[in-house]
Structure 1
């Protein structure tokens, strides 16, 4: 069967892509914003179409001749994500109908549509309703609540709180019920949905045991062999809880707030269709899911993270601004006596637990300031201690461009009065390290000038640290 995968660079999409490419009876086509975000292996062996769901012509090209299509798209990081989600889903189902697609498989969220439903959950529900509105395209709408897996937003929030706080003052939402599910089980349901012999629209609620969020925290502590205490209080507002999560976990304020608003609503299974139509899938229990996620983190086997980018390239986003950057701090070094591959390997190891080669305390202070402003801070770290890939996050940076042994370009995702980039290039026998800043107004200019002294020490020592680190691997 011919299968289209959207959202292939997202948290679920990356894992599903790895599973689909091993299905011998599947002819896989991938729909992404930027081909460069995919590995050489994928580009060589699978058909890839560039575009997004707001480009109807690109959608027609992507859906032409397709039998089954996965819809794994969500615009949570955008301010008007609800409107964008609706438009995206409508475009997709319209074109799918025109192209004769037989089935659309959508992964949404558990939840009941009522006056208390959060905007985030409501958006997921409305997307499912739109995708199920066609008379000619069948939909299988899988609904999951809290997904437990390495790199997942929900799991990273719970894990960070449990690891960092022996005693937690908790708001009343910790007594809300949910039915978590392991990410591997979600992938299993998604794959099995391709082969389900059923010809009508179907909503399938998936999850393991029913439990409160406080139970998830305590069981996570048990899985991590930690002793933790929860003290519930009735007066913590959504904003306060969001700032609290922003401070102690990797998620930025806007994502934390959307998730917290959803926690006031129960996300529990409303039907028995999982057992009825997928009897061979037995979801693992919560402790098993946590232990597997932790094992993947410890063994550097994290396949995807919640913060993985949509796949846009720097040419599509800020190319003009970086070329017009008003402030540039550039350092160069002669690397004729160094192994260039090892120099680039050292460049790719920057950040996370590896640090920034010197003055790490200044980076940490900047991370704390960013968290205080509702930004991402340094908590995100790295997916892998050595490897990087296009679109993924590195502390409060995102990998915008990556050409092996030639160039690494990082875009700053911290709170700034402007846009900033950090670039490393190898040209001949020269290593060129450049920091670019495109300021917004007078505050942007004052910001840059205030950091000139710090930049002098940070960037000078950084390029020297890269060269020293490259020698450690010889």
Structure 2
């Protein structure tokens, strides 16, 4: 039985690939993650989990010991202006540790595109592939290159879906006519999984994708699948910056993510080789409309396994020990008794916050705060959540992130909105009392000004939120009692 190491297992691709590999009886799966709490209990039970990252050489060597195949799904998008340096150092550390520990093969997923026309983020992905492939006599690399990935929760699909749902008429920039070759997430996972058993004689670059189409084609075909009529008019005067701001306001993605996507769509990203058909003849990429239909079905039936914001380095989408409140300077504590109501019912009400459910009351004020956050380059409320009634550590809840979750006891949300400081919202069940606490650590004078400025809104928003959670649980408890009778 061969041992496979998977990095990036809490990311969008990684969560789905981890599930697929865990179901393979012929291999032993090992995971290198920054935060093991973000993994499900089933994953932790069925895999060897090592906490660390590619900048921790001790953890990296431990993770790679006895490994035959290592899968590299790491990138530093969103970490700031030095993302390319971090990508470079990470790839070099990983490659060198693989050679030191006797790993035979690396599997890497990058993006389609040519270096001379690539955006900064795509160029960094290309450089990562080149670094991992630099010593073919000592370490084989299978380098997959994909374009737009279509699946429930993917960045591209969420942008396309929101545009189609919300805008009957679209004035779009010229780059919507740029050709790319989208691919369904299920096909990406199929290629990556199949590559574990492939033993090429030399390094291999495998370009994957369905037939070429433009972003405008993707919009119109998505509308067809959704049964909608949409009018799209490309114009020459919408700059990439304006396009990025527009995506930020209309879709769940923040400005930096939207800008990276727009920059990537300015040039064609097409398949440059036939290696997918040669080496994986049993995989036939599904047509675009089929991939869209599959993604919509997962959304409709609450089966979204991963989302674009599940994990990435730094403050963009990840959580770490610094995401805990510790000794916060300011606190707003509210308590409500739930005597006579089972704790699991109250906790269920807490877990349903955000997304389509919203925040129960004062919806307009929550929306205003979301719009302000969007304008400032944050996520806003429309990032939503992965599933309607289930959360796990690392999940997004509008402009919050789940930092800690103890079933039927505690939910801790860390704020990822634009703030002059750090903020958390904590729900804790203590005997028969719900304790709701807003924590805040200000950054400088403006942080303190911000806290006192929002206190008047806290005075009626937070008590009402706490009471409504218990009221919802009480109603659910009453309905359950009626059902049992």
Check whether TM > 0.5. Answer: yes
Task: Please say if 1:373 is aligned against 2:376.
Answer: yes
Aligned pairs for 1:145-184 within 5 A: 145-184=147-186
Aligned-pair CA distance for 1:415: 1.1
1:343 shift after superposition = 0.8
Matched, 1:390 2:383: no
How far 1:381 sits from its partner (Å)? 0.8
Are the counterparts in 1 of residues 403 and 414 from structure 2 also a CA contact under 8 Å?
yes
1:442 equivalenced with 2:445 (yes/no): yes
Q: Tell me the SS of whatever aligns to 1:323.
A: coil
Partner SS, residue 189 of structure 1: helix
Contact 1:34 1:311 survives alignment (8 Å)? no
Once the two structures are overlaid, the 10-residue window that deviates more, 424-433 or 12-21, is: 424-433
Aligned residue in 2 for 1:54: 55
Aligned residue in 2 for 1:472: 475
Separation in 2, partners of 1:57, 1:112: 35
Match of 1:323 in 2: 326
Matched residue SS, 1:328: strand
Query: What is the Cα deviation at residue 473 of structure 1?
Result: 2.3
- SS of 2:196 mapped into structure 1: helix
Distance 2:322 2:376 in 1: 24
Cα distance in 2 for partners of 1:468, 1:311 equals 38
Partner of 2:432: 429
Q: Is the 8 A contact 1:32 1:311 kept in 2?
A: no
CA distance in 2, matches of 1:108, 1:396: 28
Count matched residues: 471
Contact 2:104 2:140 survives alignment (8 Å): yes
Match of 2:23 in 1: 22
**Residue of structure 1 in register with 2:349 after alignment:** 346
SS at match of 1:223: helix
Query: Alpha-carbon deviation of 1:196?
Result: 1.5
Map of 2:364 onto structure 1: 361
Residues of 1 paired with 2:93 and 2:287: CA distance? 38
The separation in 2 between residues aligned to 1:162 and 1:328, in whole angstroms, is 41
Query: What is the correspondence of 1:58-77 to structure 2 with a 5 Å cutoff?
Result: 58-77=59-78
Structure 1 residue 339 displacement after superposition: 0.5
Q: Choose from 285, 305, 308 the match for 2:307.
A: 305
Distance between the aligned counterparts of 2:330 and 2:320, measured in 1? 20
- Paired residue for 2:3? 2
SS of the equivalent of 1:265 reads coil
Whether the 8 Å contact between 1:33 and 1:311 is mirrored in structure 2 is no
Q: Is the 8 A contact 1:37 1:311 kept in 2?
A: no
- 1:83-102 matches, cutoff 5 A: 83-102=85-104
How far apart in 2 are the matches of 1:17 and 1:30?
A: 8
Of residues 259, 262, 281, the one that matches 2:261 is 259
Whether the aligned pair in 1 keeps the contact of 2:206 and 2:275 (CA below 8 Å) is: yes
Question: What CA distance in whole angstroms lies between the structure 2 residues aligned with 1:311 and 1:198?
Answer: 32
CA separation of 1:315 and 1:192: change in aligned 2, threshold 3 A? closer
**Partner of 2:67: helix, strand, or coil?**
coil
Q: Is the 8 A contact 1:311 1:391 kept in 2?
A: no
Question: Would you say the 8 A contact 1:311–1:390 is kept in 2?
Answer: no
Is the partner of 2:382 in helix, strand or coil? coil
Tell me, yes or no, if structure 1 residue 419 matches structure 2 residue 422: yes
Separation in structure 2 between the aligned mates of residue 315 and residue 140 of structure 1, nearest angstrom: 31
1: CA distance between counterparts of 2:157 and 2:235? 23
8 Å CA contact 1:108, 1:141 repeated in 2: yes
Shift of 1:310: 4.6
What is the SS of the residue equivalent to 2:115? Answer: coil
Note if contact 2:11-2:311 (Cα within 8 Å) is conserved in structure 1: yes
Cα distance in 1 between the residues matched to 2:4 and 2:326: 39
Following the alignment from structure 2 to structure 1, what is the Cα–Cα distance between the partners of residues 286 and 295?
12
- Secondary structure of the 1:353 match is coil
For residue 375 of structure 1, report the CA deviation from its aligned partner.
1.1
Aligned match of 1:453: 456
Give the secondary structure class of the aligned counterpart of 2:297.
Answer: helix
State the Cα distance separating 1:361 from its structure 2 match: 1.4
The offset of 1:45, in angstroms, is 2.0
How do 1:175-324 and structure 2 match up within 5 A? Answer: 175-310=177-312, 316-319=321-324, 322-324=325-327
In the TM superposition, what whole-angstrom CA distance separates every residue of 1:173-206 from its partner, at most 9, and x where no partner exists?
A: 1111100000000000001101123221000000
For the 8 Å contact 1:120–1:259, the answer to whether it is kept is no
Mapped partners of 2:225, 2:338: distance in 1: 47
Q: TM (normalized to structure 2)? A: 0.95
Give the unaligned 5+ runs of structure 2.
478-485
Of 145, 165, 168, the residue aligned with 1:143 is: 145
Return the alpha-carbon distance in structure 1 between the equivalents of residues 402 and 19 of structure 2. Answer: 21
Find 1:82's aligned residue among 66, 74, 84: 84
Write the distance in 2 (CA, Å) between the matches of 1:314 and 1:268: 35
In 1, are the aligned partners of 2:77 and 2:313 still within 8 Å (CA)? no
CA distance in 2, matches of 1:197, 1:59: 24
Partner of 1:410: 413
Regions of 4+ moved over 4 Å: 310-315
Q: Which residue of 2 aligns with 1:123?
A: 124
User: Aligned partners of 1:89 and 1:371: how far apart in 2?
Assistant: 33
Asked if the contact 1:307–1:393 (Cα under 8 Å) also holds between the matched residues in 2, the reply is yes
Cα drift, residue 370 of structure 1: 1.0
Q: Is the 2:12–2:311 contact (alpha carbons within 8 Å) kept by the matching residues of 1?
A: no
